[in-house]
Amino acid sequence: MCRNPQDGLHKDQATHIHGCLTDFLKLEQTNCGRPELDNDHNIRGINYTILGIAVFSIVLRTVTKSYRFSQWGADDYLIIAASVFTGVQCIIMGLMTFAGLGRNIWTLDDSTITTFHIYLLVVQYAYVLSLCLIKLSILYFFLRTFPDPTFRLIIKYTIAFNIVTTIIVTICGALQRQPIHLLWDGWKEYPPRGITLNIPAIIFFHAGVNIALDVWMFALPLTQLYSLGLQPKKKAGVMVIFGVGIFLIAASCIRIPYLLDFTRTLNASCQYFPFPPNSFSNGRTTADAQGFVVWSNIESGVGILVACMPHMQPIFRAIAARARSWNILPKGSSSSTEGIFVQRSLATIKMSRTDGTTLVEPDDLVLHDRGGLLSEPSPAKKVDIDSALVLFCGFALEYLGSIKRCISIA
């Protein structure tokens, strides 16, 4: 009766008992003293943290734009759209904890399991779309920052590839079970009826493409920044701003083992959409789902943070300047840009038209700094930072207080 949880069930055993699987697992848990799983409190805590990071990043980026440290662009609107889908992920993940996420599936009734399936389907679509929009926002930011024609062409091809792969995964997700109601009702049937696609293959295809794009997008700006005529210290600082994408790569890679665990679960094989009956494990679908659901949300939250980091730099620099004026931070030797660039001879710059009417003289050097990484805010753009500090300190304290209250209630 009692089996080793590490061994799982063999296929013939699961097939023999699938008709009374829930009763069997309940009886086994009672007779064998299996502990009751209930991780919903931990999941909610992680969920609130992810939501807070995403909201804080978007608010800080919006404030930076509102105070005219930099101009609005397509990348800003795309990241706002991505934050909407990430917010949907976090909200639905919170609801999933009330529908069995983090608990053994055999402790739930049929209606709760069906609701869990619907929530999981929404999370899957929100995850795919949010990642697509996050990558598009970063790529459009590259277009605004780097003027090299060849580099911009590569970025445009990358944008097209990202959109095409997202469309393919979205269509395959919509067709994973036919008729479509089996997406949330098909868990009751074994063997599954209707048309079932090889969903694990689609999931791992998307995960592989996602990691490949993350690595590609991490390397792209570094190829442009390496050739900048900056002092090594300044160049390293600029590279760090663009190199925060390494955290997104790490989150994507950490998520893979949880995907493997979920596709091997017993209920995912014979009682749970959308996976075919190809493996049998310990029968804890709603429990095994928590890993990849949580890490999917973490990946989206980290993606928003990574996309917003370069845009936060101007306001952080302004806050640091105000902190120096308050003697909170030590004052630098000079606030000018002298000493930033490498001392080297300049080649002759030919006269060229910049806007169809203005001529650039041979001694005038035009720097492309659309992202505002090298230049200080102009006097017209300098604003009173006191109100911004009060705003963000109040927001942070209120958010931390809400998390503390939720944890104390839990």
Listed in order, strand segments (DSSP E) in 169-300 are: 177-178, 195-196
Q: Output the tens digit of pLDDT for each of the chain's 410 residues.
A: 555 544 444 444 444 444 455 566 666 666 666 666 667 778 888 888 989 999 999 998 888 877 766 678 889 999 999 999 999 999 998 888 888 777 777 777 778 888 888 888 888 899 999 999 999 999 998 898 888 899 999 999 999 999 999 999 999 888 887 777 777 776 666 666 667 777 778 888 888 999 999 899 888 888 877 766 666 666 666 666 666 777 778 888 888 777 776 666 533 323 333 333 333 333 445 556 677 788 888 889 888 988 888 877 777 777 777 777 777 767 654 444 444 444 454 444 444 444 444 444 444 444 455 555 445 544 444 445 555 555 555 655 666 566 656 555 55
List, as own/partner pairs, every contact residues 317-321 make where C-beta atoms lie below 8 angstroms and the sequence separation is at least 24, other chains included.
317/376, 318/69, 318/377, 318/382, 318/383, 318/385, 319/385, 319/388, 319/389
- Are 272 and 108 contacting, i.e. CB atoms less than 8 angstroms apart? no
Nearest Cα to 9, choosing from 106, 103, 97? 106
Q: How many residues does the chain have?
A: 410
Separation CA 234–CA 225 (nearest Å)? 11
CB 83 within 8 A of CB 58: yes
Angstrom distance (rounded) from CA 304 to CA 247: 11
Q: How far apart are CA 365 and CA 285, in angstroms?
A: 62
To 5 degrees, how large is the angle CA 135–CA 137–CA 138? 65
Amino acid at 254: I
Torsion of CA 212, 52, 240, 340, to 10 degrees: 140
CATH of domain 38-313: 1.20.1070
DSSP conformation class of 273: T
Residue 341 is classified by DSSP as B
Distance in angstroms (rounded) separating the CA atoms of residues 78 and 130: 10
Predicted model pTM = 0.69
Residues pairing with 178 in the sheet: 195
Computed over its alpha carbons, how large is the radius of gyration of the chain?
26
Burial class (CB in 10 A: 0-12, 13-18, 19+), 350: exposed
> Collapsing DSSP states into helix, strand and coil, what is residue 197?
coil
Segment holding 176, helix H or strand E: none
